[in-house]
Structure formats: C-alpha cells, structure tokens
Amino acid sequence: MRNIDKRFMGAHALAAATLEVEPAEVMGLVGQNGAGKSTLIKVLTGAHGKDAGETVFGGETVEFASPLAAQHGGISTIYQEINLIPFRSVAENIFLGREFRRYGLLDWRRMNRDAADLLRRFAVEIDVRRPLMEFSTAIQQMVAIARAVSFKARLVIMDEPTSSLDEREVAVLFDVIRQLRAEGVSVIFITHRLDELYQICDRVTVMRDGRTVMTSRMADVDKLHLIAAMLGRDLEAVRERATGFQGASAAAGAEVLAAEGLVVGRKVSDARLEVRAGQIVGLAGLLGSGRTEVARAIFGADPPDAGAIRLMGKVASPREPIEAITLGVGFCSEDRKVEGIVPDMSVRENITLALLPRLTRFGVVDEARQRAIVDRFIARLAIKTADIEQKVRELSGGNQQKVLLARWLCTDPKLLILDEPTRGIDVGAKVEIQSLIKELADQGLGVLMISSELEEIVEGADRVFVLSDGRTVADLPHAKSSASAIMAAMAHDASALSADGMEHG
Amino acid sequence: MADAQAIGRPRTSLNVGNFLRRYAALSAIVVLLAFNFAVTPNFATWQTLNVNLTQVATIVIVSVGMTLVIATGGIDLSVGSLMAISGALAPLIFLSPFGRDHLAIGNILAFVVPIGVAGLLGLFNGWFITRFRVQPIVATLVLFIAGRGIGQVITNGNLQTFKNPSFQFIGLGRVFGLPCQVLVMLAMVAAAAWMLRRTLFGRQILAVGGNEKAARLAGVPVAPVKRWVYAISGLCAGVAGLVVVSINSSSDANLVGLGMELDAIAAVAVGGTPFTGGRATVVGSLLGALLIQLLRYTLLANGVPDAAALVVKGAIIAGAVWSQQRSMPS
C-alpha cells in the first residue's frame, strides 16, 4: 500500500534528499545537527514548501499545505517537546480541535470512552479525565501518540521521542511502536541514540549536509559504518585537510582540570576528563552524548549531581559560573547568540563583561583601563570592527566568536573550555581561531575543546576523550587519536581498542 | 543626552529623521514649548514652571527606579502601593508621642524608616522573582494589591492630617527658588544616569537585560543584580510617597500613589527605554514624564477637559512606541 517517496533537487537546506518508507515499517532517520532531518520532515508534513522534487504518499502524489492538512491526510508528527496542553484532561488533549458534540454541547462521555479505548490499545490504563500534567513524561508521550493514531494516521513521525524518557519508559514506547507496526502503520523514528536504532528500526536512512547518504537495513550495517556515514568520513582513508592546528605541541604542564565520575541529570552518567596546562584536550562524541553537559557542569553553569572535580589542582565544586571564573576558568558556549554575546552592547562592553569586576574601583568602571585592554585584544585577535563602540550584533559570526574569546582571554584564564569554537563561521576565520587556540596553548593555557568536526579534534587535540551516552568511553593520546579510532570509540565498538568488546556488535 | 548605550559614538552621521526619532520626546517637548509660548497666556512665568515641575517630580522619581527595573527586562507594578505605605508610615512616626517629644529625631526617622521599609519591600519583590522564577508582572502584583491594604491597616484606614514644616520641606520647601522635590528629582535622575553608565552595577543591569544567559556565563551575579534593582525601585517609591504626603499635608493610604505605576511605566516608554531590557535611558524617562505633563498642561490651559487629555496621553504613548520601533534596526 503506502509508499512514501520524496525527492528534492537543489534546495538550500536539502539537496536531492530522498526518504522512502515501506508500509508497516519502522524507519530510523539519523544525522548530525544541520544534516537536514528536521527540514525534510517539515517539507513532508507541509510546514515548509519545497523547491523541487515530489512527495508520494499511499501511491498518490501529495502536497500538504500545512501540518494540519498532513494530519488529516494520514501523517501525524510527534515533536520532541510534547505539543499538548498540560492543564487539560487527557481525553481533551486527544480530541483537541475535533471534539465530539451532541446537541451543540461537548459529548464528554463519548470522548472519555474513546480516549480510554485508544490508550488501552497501548496498554495504558489511566483516568483520562485527569489533567495531562499529572502523568509522567512517558504517559504524556503515549497520549501524544494516541492522538496521532486517532487521526487514522498511516505514517507517524517521531522526532527524538526518547530524549526525555528513562529506560523503562523507552521500553514501553518501543512496545507501542511495535504495536503500530503490527497494525500496518509506518513510523519514521528520529534519534541520536544508535542503540535504539538497532532495537526498534527495520531500516535506517542517514542524512548529511542536506543529502541522503545511506539507506540500509539495520541488519546490514554496523555502528561504525553508521557513524562514518553520519560524519562523512571514509573509514580507511582519513583525508588530510588544512586546519589552523599546525606544528608540534609543547610539553604538558601542571594539571588544570581533572573530573571523575561526573553525573549530570540523564545526559551524563560517568564522565572523566583531564586537562593539563599547555594542552589542547578534545572532547568528542555524537550529538546527545553529553559533551556540552559535561562542560557546563565543570563551569558551574549546571552543577553536576555527582562526581569529583579538581580545578588548578584543588578540589572544587562550582555552583555558579562566577565561582569557576574566579578560579581561572573561561567558557565559550556553543550557542553564540543565545548564551554568548549581549547583542545590544558594544564590542568594548562584550569583551570586558567577565573582567569588569576587576576593572572597577569602588564600583566605578575605570574606562581608561577598559579601553586600553579592549584595544589590545582587538589588535591581538584581529577583530574586524568599525570601532570599539560598535554593537556586537553588527559583527560577523567569526568576529563575534573572537570577541567572546577575547572576553575570556582578558581575564587571563588557566583553563578555557570551548564548546564548538568554530561552528557557523567562515573558513578564513575558522583557521584564524584554530591557530589562535594553538598559540594560546603553546603559551601555557589549558584548553578543553568540544567539536563535532573530527578534523578539528584529530589535528588540534593533544589528547582526546570520547563520550558516548554520557560516559567517557575512550582516552586517546595524540598519537592514537585518528578519526577511525574516535569513531570506533563513539560506536562503543571496543574491538577497535581492545579485544573484549566483540559482543557489542 | 546621557543615553546609557550611546557613549561617544562617532560613527553614523545623523540625518534629521534619525535625530527626530532618536530624540522624539525632546523634539516634542521643544515643539510644545514653542506652541505654549506663542498661544497659552501666562506661560512664561516661574509659577507655571514650578507648578509643572512640582506635579511631575513624583512621577519622575518613581520612573527612575522603574527605568532600572525595565532595563533588566522586568516591570514593577507595586510602586504606587509602596508609596502609600511610605506615606502612611511617616506621619505615624512624627505624630507619635516619641516623635512629638524628640522633633529632630522623629523627623529623621520619618524619612529613614518609610524609605527603608519601601526599599525592603522592593527587595522582597526581587527575592520573590529570583527565588521562585516568578514573572515580574505577577510577582509585583502581589504587593500592588497587598501594599495598599498594608497602608490602610497601619493607619486603621484613617486620613492623617498634619502640619510639620521641617518634614514637609521635601514637598513644600524651596532651594534657590526651586521646589525641593524638583531638586531631589534632578539629583536622583543624575545619580541613576551616572550609575547606569559608569558603574559595574549599572553595566551589569544592562547585561542582565540584554542577555541573561550570557551574563550569567560571564560571571554576572544575575539574581543579586535583579534583587537590588527592585530594591532601588522600592526606595524611589518610598521617597515619592513622602513627597506626596508633604504636599498634601495629609496621608490617605487609599489615594497616595494611586495609578502611579502606570504613569511611571508610561514615562519610561515615552522616554525611549525598550521593554525588552538591555537598553535604558534615565534622562529619557525624565523627558518622557515632562512631555506627558507638558501636554496635559497645554490642553488644560487651553480649555480642553481632563478626560480628553487622557486620550491624548494614550496617543502619545502609542506614538512613542511606534517611533521606537521605527528607530530599531531589525
């Protein structure tokens, strides 16, 4: 029966992306950030228009004008954040927008009965008259699915449905998916957790840079190949590419950071790290592996639930960023716009934001000193700005990133944590920033660098820690940190590291 | 103009349109002044100036604190009620047996205690907002409602009348021919404008309003900054409450500061401080309050009824917001 077939040609976010789902099939959809998964789904469900290509659903060429039209057409989407109304009852949520009426009034009895029947199909026995918010995230997820199915959906799209579920809840969700499949419903399952693909999916489609790079039956592909396809690396040949990280690294100095057994919420379960002065330490891992969470825990932005941290050789447990800053730590967040720049403030003020308390006497800012420092760092980092009073939002991405680097460098840190320091900036600025990081490390700064780009990690880092599912699974010295070794570690495929991990497959 | 953001920017050459938008309130004041000098009888007198300044002073004093609150992206609805509390406390103190026996100490306490209490209540607002992450409009609604009740409870709902020249100097006294509260107002505006522009605290206020997450990651103590800003707003309301009861020679917790929160917010809006936070101009709020006052006076002095003046006031606010959006680069 229903074949979904869609193609796009030459779009910006999507270039000839193809996704085919058979009837009663669970199709995994994976890819890095920005690979085009969400865009593809949005085009499919009518949230975005497409520039070229066609969508075939159930044997007919279709073009949905809106997600609502897609829903009525038989395609239901369940988003990562549950799109329901917490204060309303379960039944109301399921029938929201198409309530049963009798004599112009709401037919509560019928709605409640139908809602209960619907949920019973998924072995969920709850009082559907209670407000949705009284139930666990997993139940809410089930309600969202029940709502989707009640539209007589023939295709259900789930965008990272497991990200807020615990293991038991995931198991329940998987039962529901199998139930759907048994009833002939197709499922597109988007996730970052590779293990889940093997548990539930029949086939997988890998996207990268807006293209479909691989479609395969789960049984025919191992994790290592999956990761290689996602990251776009050839397993055998690691191409040499010019990055800003050239030259030999200096000898490592004293320990500036040591973290052991870090636990942060559900994302990080056992992370270990060590950074020494003069060293660039790479922190690698797939999206959702807990890289950013580890960095934020060390910086005190989201303090860890458990684990030991030593900063500059002393036991520390920063509960607020200011405490880590006082100890000599700087942190450039991965989201420059949301967590980095203060857009309406000038370059001068953005650069000195962290240093400002040290530039004041009796609470008054010493503007002469401030200007001198700002001028020095603008020159040193070659920040392109009309003058120091220009608003930082008017700068290019690369220059904004340099402003943020300057913000920390002027505080003279011992440890600098960089979360995706070169994401979203042009090639020239990228190389510049990379060589700057290298130069700083040579001068004795300890750098912890998170990056999704393997080249950056392989060529830049003197030592690489690999995270997978919130655990440190590998600690590779520079000599051993090849792209394939890192990917092998990400895949949990311990066979590439030692001999005892074969059963992980 | 001490716009907190525009410190010596030599970049763009301002054309006339830009200038008008940027200094919309100032331009409108100049136009209204010219109109009044030409049309309104007896406009160019000391008396007219003093009447207008006296009436506007309390609004400006409150809007100083309000500007700082709005600069952090918040809002403070409780200021009018805090004025009522402050205005109720002062006469209680200097009319008490202790206050009558020790006039000097009584008068000093009649200043310090009400302003201090208003500041503490402001601090409570800030604590409520930061501790429980309550939206400022909801958090300050608590004292907006309860505050006036507290004022009435401590006075048993009675109107307190008094004659205490040394206390009332703040509302009735003159220094160099200018009403005392006008000087207080100017001093507070100057202090706040300087604070916002030159001190660590001022810059942290704008950083919190401009990007709270980034500010926190850069080590700005976000919660304490917010608490202090609401405390300052409370202090300003406390001062304004004393001025009002001094002028009236009486204190009625039912009426003191009634509607003041909205007047102050209007002044801030007309003055050009955006409600999204991160940018603020205290001098702008002064100009905004002056503009609203001058417009109202112009209409009244030329025989337009007060009811119609309210409509014009609303139009001014709408116009100010419109001109702000026009000048904002998208």
A394 and A418 housed in the same domain: no
Tell me: pLDDT of A244 over 70.
Answer: no
A263 and A215 housed in the same domain: no
Is residue A235 domain-resident? no
A403 and A462 housed in the same domain: no
Interface contact B207-A342, CB threshold 8 A? yes
Share of chain B above pLDDT 70, in %: 91
A27 and A154 housed in the same domain: yes
Total domain count for chain A? 3
- Residue A414 CA from chain centroid, whole number: 28
A402 and A418 housed in the same domain: no
Instruction: Say if residues B59 and B267 touch (Cβ distance below 8 Å).
Output: yes
A138 and A93 housed in the same domain: yes
The secondary element (H helix, E strand) that includes residue A19 is: strand A18-21
d(CA A66, CA A43): 9
A401 and A424 housed in the same domain: no
Is residue A333 domain-resident? no
B10 vs A114 pLDDT, higher one: A114
A421 and A277 housed in the same domain: yes
Query: In A, what residues contact B, Cβ < 8 A?
Result: 299, 301, 320-322, 325-326, 331, 333, 338-346, 349, 353-354, 356-357, 360, 363-365, 367, 386-387, 389-390, 407
Query: pLDDT confidence of A233, banded at 50, 70, 90?
Result: low
DSSP state string for A233-297: --SS-------S--SPPPPP-SEEEEEEEEEETTTEEEEEEEEETT-EEEEE--TTSSHHHHHHH
A321 and A444 housed in the same domain: yes
Structure tokens at A240: 């040499």
Query: pLDDT confidence of B327, banded at 50, 70, 90?
Result: low
Instruction: Say if residues A237 and A252 touch (Cβ distance below 8 Å).
Output: no
Which of B5, B11, B218 shows the shortest C-beta gap to A353?
B218
Distance from CA of A331 to the nearest CA of B (A): 7
Cβ count near B310 (within 10 Å) = 12
d(CA A332, CA B218): 9
Of A221, A249, A281, which marks where a domain is finished? A221
Of A167, A192, A221, which marks where a domain is finished? A221
Tell me: pLDDT of B258 over 90.
Answer: yes
Query: pLDDT confidence of A302, banded at 50, 70, 90?
Result: very high
Instruction: State the pLDDT at residue B15.
Output: 58
The pTM of the full predicted model, rounded to 2 decimals, is 0.76
Whether B206 contacts chain A with CB within 8 A: yes
Each residue's pLDDT tens digit, A185-204: 899 998 877 888 888 999 99
Each residue's pLDDT tens digit, B205-248: 999 999 999 999 999 999 999 999 999 999 999 999 999 999 99
Each residue's pLDDT tens digit, B134-145: 999 999 999 999
Range picked from A67-81, A125-139, A366-380 for highest mean pLDDT = A366-380
Query: pLDDT confidence of A430, banded at 50, 70, 90?
Result: confident
ipTM of the complex: 0.84
A86 and A105 housed in the same domain: yes
Each residue's pLDDT tens digit, A246-297: 555 556 788 999 999 999 988 899 999 999 999 999 999 887 788 999 999 9
Is residue A80 domain-resident? yes
Is residue A234 domain-resident? no
Instruction: Decide: residue B42, CB within 10 A, 0-12 exposed, 13-18 middle, 19+ buried.
Output: exposed
d(CA A97, CA A156): 19
Is residue A230 domain-resident? no
Of A172, A189, A221, which marks where a domain is finished? A221
Domain ranges of chain B: 25-327
Expressed as residue numbers, the domain containing A360 is 340-412
Query: pLDDT confidence of A229, banded at 50, 70, 90?
Result: confident
The letter for the amino acid at B161 is: T
For B71, nearest residue in chain A (alpha carbons) = A344
A432 and A473 housed in the same domain: yes
Interface contact B11-A389, CB threshold 8 A? yes
Q: Looking at domain B25-327, does it have CATH number 2.40.50?
A: no
Tell me: pLDDT of A65 over 80.
Answer: yes
Tell me: pLDDT of A241 over 60.
Answer: no
A308 and A346 housed in the same domain: no
Instruction: State the pLDDT at residue B151.
Output: 93
Is residue A226 domain-resident? no
Is residue A65 domain-resident? yes
Which residue of B200, B217, B220, B228 to mutate against A (max A Cβ within 10 Å)? Answer: B217
For residue A311, the domain's CATH number is 3.40.50.300
Is residue A141 domain-resident? yes
d(CA A486, CA A283): 10
